[in-house]
Amino acid sequence: MRRRVFLGLAAAMGALTGRASAAEAPGFTFPSIDGGELDSMAWRGQPVLVVNTASLCGFSGQLREMQSLHETYGPQGLVVLAVPSNDFNQELATGAEVREYCEMEYGIDLPMTDILPVARGEVHPFYAWVRQQTGFVPKWNFAKVLLGPDGQVIGTWNSFTRPGADSIRQGFAPHLRG
């Protein structure tokens, strides 16, 4: 009985403070690099790999791997989201330039946000939530956050972990269709 009361109070406090329970991750909207918005709630029920990118970074070859994951596992439900950021001074000046460069250099057609702050200053609410939930803050470009179908963080990785690394694949593989 005491445990049930405590859990009820904890749930009520979560609701009052605006914090989502473990089963209810919040949804986020991102400005799309193509205009309009990308809504993470549209991806509920699917694993989502979120990567902060930068066109002029030495790790930008990872964009090729991100595109490969998108093509290979996208039909099975994996969403790969590129989040261009200039937090580390290695991104082009505008979203249009980023989109053109990524299409021409890497053949990117996966979803991309407009240029967003992810680690410094007033970061996008998604990255503030990831920090609050896990303590993870991108230390450089090409940091990865994997969300499960419920929107909760499954894992985080630094720039040196490639998008197709076994640890990342093992995180999303159980959640793929077919």
Q: What is the mean pLDDT of residues 114-120?
A: 98
| Position 178 confidence tier, pLDDT thresholds 50, 70, 90 | confident
Q: Choosing from 48, 50, 57, 115, which is the catalytic residue?
A: 57
> Does the annotation count 57 as an active-site position?
yes
Residue-range domain boundaries for the chain: 28-175
Per mean pLDDT, which range of 3-7, 96-100, 125-129 is the poorest? Answer: 3-7
One-character DSSP codes across the chain: -HHHHHHHHHHHHHHHHTPPPTT-PPP-EEEBTTSSEEEGGGGTTS-EEEEEE-TTSTTTTHHHHHHHHHHHHGGGT-EEEEEE--TTS-S-SSHHHHHHHHHHHH---S-BB-S--SSSSS--HHHHHHHHHH----SSTT-EEEE-TTS-EEEEE-TTS-TT-HHHHHHHGGG---
Q: What is the mean pLDDT of residues 15-43?
A: 79
Structure tokens at 176: 């793929």
Please give the CATH superfamily to which domain 28-175 belongs: Glutaredoxin (3.40.30.10)
Question: What pLDDT sits at residue 23?
Answer: 54
pTM equals 0.87
